Amino acid sequence: MFKDRLETITTVQRLRIPATMISSASGVPCPRLSDFMRHRHVPENQCDKIKNAVAKIEFIWDLFQEHIPGLRILIDTPEQLEKMYEGCERGQNHLEINKALSELQSRIVEGITPFTL
């Protein structure tokens, strides 16, 4: 548990995620988030909400960084976080499928098909 918490704190600091955004997106009050960041006691369910929100924000931001460097999306509610995360998961899957299709298409153009490998 401590390792997860330390990784979450490191991620928040590395990405400079605003505390108010984490608080809003996780539904955890700012004072509890502050306690979490300072390694103080926080109820387990609130720790889980913070860790989950930070992981999802990191995923969303990383996905957008690949396409629009420097873009930082603000997320205000747990519902908005979930919708963004689900949309980004679908988008990432779509991008991976398109990449695979492009690679397959270029191999076919070069005369190499999956069946001749």
Q: Where exactly are the structural domains of the chain? A: 2-116
> What percentage of residues in the chain have a pLDDT greater than 90?
51
Question: What is the C-alpha radius of gyration for the chain, rounded to an integer number of angstroms?
Answer: 19
pLDDT of 13 above 60:
yes
Are 34 and 87 contacting, i.e. CB atoms less than 8 angstroms apart? Answer: no
Q: Residue 117: its pLDDT value, please?
A: 47
- pTM, to two decimals: 0.78
**What mean pLDDT do residues 54-65 have?**
90
Report d(CA 64, CA 88) in Å as an integer. Answer: 9
- Straight-line distance from the first to the last Cα atom of the chain, in angstroms, rounded to the nearest whole number: 46
Query: Which has the higher per-residue pLDDT, 88 or 17?
Result: 17
> What percentage of residues in the chain have a pLDDT greater than 70?
81
